Amino acid sequence: MFAPLKTIRENVERLLVDIPPSVTIVAACKTRTVMEVKAAFEAGLRHFGHNYVQEAQAMLSQLSFKAEWHLIGHLQRNKAGDAVQLFNWIDSIDSIRLAQELEKQCSQIGKNILVMIEVNSGREENKSGALPENVGELAALISQQPHLHLEGLLTMGPRSGDPQESRPYFVETRRLFERLASQNLANTSLRYLSMGMSNSYPIAIQEGANMIRLGTAIFGESQ
């Protein structure tokens, strides 16, 4: 059973009032239906994220509205070609090899895309993302790619029942963001610090996030 469309619209309207306008909401659409996503768009959201290329292909083929589409899940290099066709943003670059493959695919179709580096701030072995000490090298490499424009950093932080436990990881990622911004890399804006999900976004905003990824807070629990 999926969330009533009226509830989704009400959730979005409430979030747009409660969350500062300087914070961009990315609606996380994994497992959601086309009608649910359309309801969120009609309520005022313009940024949408998907975790998987194949599922995003199926969804976008059924949507008529134009929005900013973010890939927010781990991207395998063999899916890079499809990803740059579908998405305006790749928010989860985590390696030099992936950045180079994205540049190759973008150059072949003459498309520029906005990208973010995913930071494994919790240093978890089973999670994707660049380790904090490797982010500087990766950012420098991306800044040299003519078709990739580095917009910021993204972190998930370790999942736990207590959102407060995410705070140290948000703080570390913000400091890393600030250090990178001070370097004034070419072809780089560093406008966005993407941190926080439905259970932790208030803390993330307190720690400097200006982009948050919300699924449950918009659509309700996944079925």
Q: Which CATH number belongs to the domain containing residue 139 in this structure?
A: 3.20.20.10
Domain count, the chain: 1
The answer to whether the beta carbons of residues 197 and 178 sit under 8 Å apart is no
* Amino acid making up residue 172: E
* Amino acid making up residue 117: I
**For a pLDDT cut of 70, what percent of the chain falls above it?**
98
Q: How far apart, in whole angstroms, are the C-alpha atoms of residue 53 and residue 41? A: 20
How confident is the model over 162-190, as a mean pLDDT? 94
How confident is the model over 136-145, as a mean pLDDT? 98
Return mean pLDDT, the chain: 95
Is the pLDDT at 193 greater than 80, yes or no? yes
Enter the DSSP assignment of 202.
Answer: H
Instruction: Count CB neighbours of 184 within 10 A.
Output: 9
| Confidence at residue 57, expressed as pLDDT on a 0 to 100 scale | 95
Helices (H), the chain: 5-18, 34-42, 53-60, 80-86, 96-109, 135-143, 167-181, 201-206, 216-219
Q: What is the pLDDT of residues 1-23, one digit of tens each?
A: 567 999 999 999 999 999 999 99
Q: Determine how β-strand 148-155 pairs with β-strand 188-195.
A: parallel
Three-state DSSP class for residue 10: helix
| Confidence at residue 221, expressed as pLDDT on a 0 to 100 scale | 85
Q: What is the pLDDT of residues 45-91, one digit of tens each?
A: 999 999 999 999 999 999 999 999 999 999 999 999 999 999 999 99
Instruction: Count CB neighbours of 148 within 10 A.
Output: 25
How confident is the model over 167-172, as a mean pLDDT? 95
How confident is the model over 116-133, as a mean pLDDT? 92
**For a pLDDT cut of 90, what percent of the chain falls above it?**
90
DSSP letter for each residue of 79-111: GHHHHHHH-SEEEEE-SHHHHHHHHHHHHHHT-
pTM attached to this predicted model: 0.95
Answer with the residue of higher pLDDT: 3 or 115: 115
Which residue segment(s) compose the domain that 147 sits in?
5-219
Instruction: Count CB neighbours of 173 within 10 A.
Output: 26
| Confidence at residue 223, expressed as pLDDT on a 0 to 100 scale | 60
Q: Determine how β-strand 68-71 pairs with β-strand 24-28.
A: unpaired
The answer to whether the beta carbons of residues 102 and 135 sit under 8 Å apart is no
pLDDT band at 122 (very low <50, low <70, confident <90, very high): confident
